Structures are given as C-alpha cells and as structure tokens.
Structure 1
Amino acid sequence: MTRRVLLATRNAKKLGELRRILADAGVTDIEIVGMADVEPFDEAPETGATFEENALAKARDAVEATGLAVVADDSGLTVDALNGMPGVLSARWAGSHGDDEANLKLLLGQLADVPDERRGAAFVCTVALVVPGAEPVVLRREWRGTLVREPRGSNGFGYDPIFVPDGETRTSAELAPGEKDAASHRGQALRALVPYLRELGQK
C-alpha cells in the first residue's frame, strides 16, 4: 500500500526534486503530494528565530490540518560578514516576501566594501518530518561557498546568481539543474531524509 506524505509547499520544483530523489533511491511506497493536493488551511507566518523552528512549525501545522505525515523545509543564505544574516529572513531581506531582485540588490550593497577573501557564505536547509504519534525528525545541511559581486546565470532563483559553491567557478545559477540537485543544501537534506521515508513506507 502506498502512503501519502505531504511536502508542505506549492513549489513544483521542490515537489519534483523530492519525487526524483525517492525514485532514484527505489522508494516506491511513498506518494509525495503538495499543498495543492489537500484541502486549504490557514498557514501560520514563519516567525521562528531558526530554520529548525520554522520547518517544525510548518510541518506541525500541516499535520494538524491534514492528518498526513508531513515534510516541511526552511532554507536561506547565511553570510559570514553579516554574522549569519539574512538567515531566516532571506526571502524578505529587502522588506517584501519573495522579491528576489530587491533582496539581491540590497545584499550586494551591504557587501560592497567587503573584500573577496571575506565573502564566505552558506546556503542552509533544514527539513522536518512530522508523523502523527511519532517523534519528529529534523535534519540540517549546508552548502558552503563565496559571494561574487555581480549576478551570473539564469538557472536559479533567490541568491543563486551570486553564490559560487566551494570547488566551483560557476555560480549556483550557472549549474545545470541535475548538478545543483546533487550538491545543493536542499538536495543534501532531502537525500538524508530518504531512510526515514523508506521506513515510513514499510509501516
């Protein structure tokens, strides 16, 4: 019997990524559904101080509303020279949620005087798996790199065009989707979740 698991997102790319990762791992008894596949419910704003708090809150809200096992993630960019900011505020750094261009412009302005050798950063992703009646699983993964001064590439979103992963000369937005899936913070976190989802499917 296939078990439905809700990935608490409306982002088709995130849904596709988790489905691909499970298929590659040979997990066939889990069906990943998204927010568009369940009855609408009130979603609380992300007010946690950490990625872990936000991912857990999002997952618990969705479990309560749907009764399904839920995977939720929270991710963002932490910049060394800004003491880990924008962090959980990454998507609304310039004020309004999801304005990638404004966020990018503001961050580049804040880093204008920071020398190249101090422009270290990491993309962080925390995923939470909450199953009714069980202890939650929370996993965090990081993708280290440096920030360049001008955006490059069109394959990404958010801060991808200025983030060059360690060991690379291309920005995250210049990587092919498969390359990014294999290395990124979200790809790492979702792959780390596979054993837990495999076990869930076998129950």
Structure 2
Amino acid sequence: MKLVIATRNAHKLEEIKAIFNFKSLEVLSAFDFPDIPDVIEDGGTLEVNAEKKAVEIALATGCWALADDSGLEVNSLDGAPGVYSARYAGEECSYAANNEKLLRELAETTDRSARFRTVIALSDPKGNVRTLEGICPGMIINKLRGTNGFGYDPLFVPNGHSETFAELSNEVKNSISHRARALQKAQVEWAELLSRL
C-alpha cells in the first residue's frame, strides 16, 4: 500500500525516511504529486496544521497520508516562535533571517530554555485523522554552530548534549529529535494499523 508524506520540504522528507521504518509500504511524497496544490498552513496550532496537511493530501491523492508540523518553543518568549517558526522573520524569510531574529529577541534574557515540538498526523483516504506528539527539550545558544540540519538547528543544544543539532551526526539527531520521538511513538502506537495498509 502507498503512504504519502505530506511535504515538499526535502530536508524534512529525508529525516522522516531516515527515522521511520515503513516496512512494506510504498512511500511517496508530495513531490510525487506535482499537480496537487500546496497546503496552506494557516492553523493556530501545530496540531491543526499537521491534521490539515494530512487530511488534504489524503483526500487529494486517495492514499493514506502522514504529515507533521514542528515548532521551536522558547520559554522566555512565551512559546514563540512556535507555530510561526518557519516564518518567524516574515512570510518569505530564510533560515538565516529566522535565526537572526531569534538571537535579537533573546539578547537581553538569561533564560534560554526551549524545546522543539512535533505533532504528526496520519489520515486515511477519507480524512479520518489521528495525531501524536514528540518533544525534545534543550537550550538556545548565542552563536550559530554547525553545518548539518536546517532551520534553528545551529542554535539548539538538546538536553544531555554539548553539541547543537547542526553539529550532531544525522544518526544521533535522528535518534533524539522531536520528530524522531514522535515517529518512534507512532511506530509503536500505530504499528497494527500501519501493518494492515
């Protein structure tokens, strides 16, 4: 059976495929369906966006669809950038612009604790959806370090580590990240369901 990963973000797709054991499923992505429109992520929460992406892609393709929405939640910024993580510095911003804004916002604070949070959603072809969450706590450093990963990875040091996500190997990051924790949970909690696809 086919499972569509509801993303056109190549970095995210690569991470999901590296983490999740799809066993006998034929894994596709939104790249394989160029005629379907991008899903507009206008929800006020990660949960709403993940569900919307999974359901819209499932209905458009007639396949089961897996989607996620992730955000960086900084305690001293009341959980910002959160659901706006990808566009923190504006609608058409770059990773660099988002990182620069985050560093400016934290310039005067000593509390740099944060967490990455992912919500993943799985929808059947009729739009019935379920969700799970993964969290990775850590802290924001004051200078970019590392060249792996993407987004806020060069600024985020996960608890129990001294290296940023961008300095860690893919193997280590893909075993401890928020996305990894959500997908690991999904492989357990959705194992029976996925085995029937």
After superposition, what is the alpha-carbon deviation per residue over 1:81-116, rounded to whole angstroms, capped at 9, x for unaligned? 00000001001111134511111001100100001x
Q: SS at the partner of 2:166?
A: helix
- Tell me if the contact between 2:95 and 2:152 (Cα under 8 Å) persists in the aligned partners: yes
Gaps of 5+ in 2: none
After superposition, what is the alpha-carbon deviation per residue over 1:64-97, rounded to whole angstroms, capped at 9, x for unaligned? 1111000000001000000000001001111134
- Tell me if the contact between 1:43 and 1:61 (Cα under 8 Å) persists in the aligned partners: no
- Tell me if the contact between 1:79 and 1:86 (Cα under 8 Å) persists in the aligned partners: yes
Q: Partner of 1:16 in structure 2?
A: 14
2:88 is equivalent to residue 107 of structure 1: no
Distance 2:192 2:93 in 1: 33
User: Relative to structure 1, is the Cα distance of residues 67 and 98 closer, same or farther in structure 2, using a 3 angstrom cutoff?
Assistant: farther
Q: Partner of 2:74 in structure 1?
A: 79
- Give the paired residue count: 196
User: Relative to structure 1, is the Cα distance of residues 70 and 34 closer, same or farther in structure 2, using a 3 angstrom cutoff?
Assistant: same
Distance 2:124 2:93 in 1: 29
Gaps of 5+ in 1: none
Using the size of structure 2 for normalisation, the TM-score is: 0.92
**Structure 1 stretch displaced more, 180-189 or 12-21:** 12-21
Q: SS at the partner of 1:150?
A: coil
- Tell me if the contact between 1:155 and 1:173 (Cα under 8 Å) persists in the aligned partners: yes
2:59 is equivalent to residue 64 of structure 1: yes
Letter in 2 for 1:146: M
Q: SS at the partner of 2:97?
A: helix
After superposition, what is the alpha-carbon deviation per residue over 1:129-168, rounded to whole angstroms, capped at 9, x for unaligned? 0113474220111110011111111112111111111111
Map 1:129-168 → 2, pairs under 5 A = 129-133=122-126, 135-168=128-161
1:33 to 22, 28, 33: 28
Using the size of structure 1 for normalisation, the TM-score is: 0.89
Distance 2:148 2:65 in 1: 28
The Cα of 1:191 is off from its aligned counterpart by 1.6
User: Relative to structure 1, is the Cα distance of residues 107 and 18 closer, same or farther in structure 2, using a 3 angstrom cutoff?
Assistant: closer
- Tell me if the contact between 1:9 and 1:35 (Cα under 8 Å) persists in the aligned partners: yes
Could you list the structure 1 runs, at least 4 aligned residues long, displaced by more than 6 angstroms after superposition: none
